Amino acid sequence: MTEEVGRGTVLAGRYRVVDPLPTDLAGVSVWHATDLILDRPVRVRVLQSGAVAPALDAARRAALVTDARLVRVLDVGMHEGVGYVVSEQITGASLAQLVERGPLTPDQARAVVGEAAAALEVARRRGVHHLALRPAVVHVSADGRVLVSGLAIDAALLGIAHGDARATSRSDTVDLVRLLYTGLTGRWPAGRDDVHESSVQPAPVLDGAPVAPGELVADVPNDLDTLCAVTLGPHEDGPHTPGDLVHELEPWGEIRVGRFADDTDAAAGVGGAVAAAAAGGLAAPESDPERPTAPVRVARQSVRSAFEELPAGVPRPGTPPPAVPARGSSFPPRGDARGTPPTAVVGAASGAAAPPPSLPAALPPVARNPEPDLWDDGPGFTDDPFAFVEQEDEPRRRFDPTALVLVIVGIAVLIGLIFAARALFAAPGGEREPAAGETSSEQQPEPSGDAAPSPADEPSEEAPQAGPPPVIASVRTFDPTDPAGERVENVELAVDGDPSTFWFSYTYKAPDFAGLKEGMGLELTLAAESPVSGVTLHVNGTGGNVEVRATSGDTPTQGDVLASGTLSQDTLLTFSEPVTTSTLVLYFTELPTNPAGLFRVEVTEITVS
């Protein structure tokens, strides 16, 4: 199979293989390639042997995780019996290349590993883990970004089995601390179960654990030294998830790409000048690595200043003033009787002493047309061609509608006052006063004592006092498998009153959450305890199922199901009878399908009634 893919091979009729790239995985070849359809460079992994099917499945799961710090998987497929995984290009040096010249500074090691931990926390919340972290898969690009490659794919190729959620999260977290150790010391603390080799020099071991970083390198902060010693020690101490490690490392500063400029150039195989241009001039000179680069300024010149540099006496271009013909004189369109050009007439009429700047002084006179001039010789014309536009001695009077409008408004106000007075002095109940000879309802004879009172005359029981109308005060997400909830950063968009914005959950491979959980949902907190008779959900998508209960997100399955149904664009969930409560839970037991064909919940707005 290895001979079927080489330079010039076109995979799946789309990706042309160009140049090979180094790799530390057996049975895998990595290539620079070109996407012939989109005309862009890509990175192709050709899986020639080993666990090809599990690796392709892992690549499909990794493609569902979206984060700028994770290398995106663009395509997965088979070509003549060989599997391939297409991803975006990886720029910048790996951590293994960066520590070849020596350890990183503590703040830079903290920043690089902190960014990698934040990316893997995003993947963990989607149920995807790396499980094969090593210095060769963490890269720092020329613009200061951290990129992590091989998510889930490398573990499948190496045959690393998945454990439960706690064990896999702990494994990734320990590997991240090992990367921190490498950044601080330039040594790789190999684990007991490592199935891959690293090009970084191994760390010394004492009593079965790596020597603390502070004993190998000076000026290691106490918190980082303790974090490495405790996590890599014989006990299961330290953080257990990448999110816990993020809290241990925060805050971290900006990654200074000037520190990695030369390593980035070596990894890319280009010269220092080309790499500096590609990085946008971010790499500082070696003499002063922290000196900021001066901003590029564009020279600008005003039009006025450009003409001020002309020699004296040279006319400046411009637009001459409009001609103003003198009254009582003829209007010569091509020159007067003496052959003077029209511009001379313009200058004389406007009172300008200087010649027109846009024409030379020695302009030859324009010869008159030998044909008769219709303006001067035609019958019925006066000497002044504009005689018909003379203003009248007395301006014409125009109609002013203000008085008419005021009269109409006054009549309307008067009519309104009349109707208001009639309504004010009308008889109670809206009935008119009885006319002469008529008997009003108050003058009707009273019924005899033997007659039974009508139901209307009986005193009615006092109606129960209704509580305040339900108003949503706040909303939060809950997830039985994660105390932090799901997509907590934009949950307020579900009740912001704007249908163009929406909260959405994570995306899953199946409507039953791909077997990862039984459900998740939203907890609505009302402004006060109020009677609620129904909930309306506006959702992007169709299908799935939702249940409404009068409980909290901590116990979403307790209490009676007030209403349930299938989700649609306008989902109305009406209770059989109103319920007085201060909290409601929308528990999604099955995911709908959004317009893009993905299994996730997209709630544009929620209202209660």
Residue ranges of the domains in the chain?
A: 2-87, 93-262, 472-608
Q: CA geometry: angle at 171 spanning 168 and 175, to 5°?
A: 145
529 pLDDT higher than 60: yes
Which of the 8 DSSP states describes residue 283?
A: S
Token look-up 């001067």 returns 376
Q: What is the mean pLDDT of the chain?
A: 77
Q: Is the pLDDT of residue 19 over 50?
A: yes
* Alpha carbons 472 and 461: distance in angstroms, whole number: 32
Judge if 2-87 and 93-262 fold alike in CATH terms: no
- pLDDT one-digit tens code per residue, 405-451: 898 999 999 998 998 888 887 645 444 444 444 444 444 445 444 44
Confidence class of residue 260 from pLDDT cuts 50, 70 and 90? Answer: low
User: What pLDDT is stored for residue 506 in this prediction?
Assistant: 86
431, two tokens: 């009935």
Asked if pLDDT for residue 362 goes beyond 60, the answer is no
Give pLDDT tens digits for 50-69.
889 999 999 999 999 999 99
Rounded distance, CA 242 to CA 116, Å? 9
Rounded to an integer, the average pLDDT of 80-93 is 93
Rounded Cα gap, residues 335 and 356, in angstroms: 15
Q: Helices 165-185 & 106-125, crossing angle to 10 degrees?
A: 160
pLDDT (0 to 100) of residue 192: 61
279-315 pLDDT tens trace: 333 333 343 434 444 433 334 444 444 445 555 555 5
Q: Given this model, what pLDDT does residue 497 score?
A: 86
Q: Which of 165-179, 333-347, 442-456 has the highest mean pLDDT?
A: 165-179
Hey, what long-range contacts does 341-350 have (CB within 8 A, 24 or more apart)? 341/365, 341/366, 346/320, 346/321, 346/322, 349/323, 349/324, 349/325, 350/321, 350/323, 350/324
Check whether the bond before 251 is cis (ω within 30° of 0): yes
Q: Residue 137: is its pLDDT beyond 70?
A: yes
Q: What is the pLDDT of residues 568-597, one digit of tens each?
A: 889 999 999 999 999 999 999 999 988 778
Query: What is the 8-class DSSP label of residue 230?
Result: H
Q: In the CATH hierarchy, which fold is given to the domain comprising 472-608?
A: Jelly Rolls (2.60.120)
Spatial distance between the Cα atoms of 212 and 217, rounded to a whole number of angstroms: 9
Model pLDDT, residue 329: 42
- CATH C-level class of 93-262: mainly alpha
CATH of 2-87, one of 3.40.50.720, 3.30.200.20, 3.40.50.10860, 3.40.50.920: 3.30.200.20
As a whole number, mean pLDDT of residues 492-521 equals: 87
pLDDT at residue 332, as a whole number: 44
Note the pLDDT of residue 466.
60
Confidence category of residue 488, pLDDT binned at 50, 70, 90: confident
How many of the other CB atoms lie within 10 Å of CB of 141?
Answer: 17
Q: Tell whether the model's pLDDT for residue 460 goes beyond 80.
A: no
Helix or strand run (H / E) with residue 575: strand 570-590
Q: Write the pLDDT tens digit of every residue in 364-411.
A: 444 444 444 444 444 444 444 444 444 445 555 667 788 888 989 999
Instruction: Characterize 256-266 residue by residue with b for buried, 16 or more Cβ atoms within 10 angstroms of its Cβ, and e for exposed.
Output: bbbbbbbbbbe
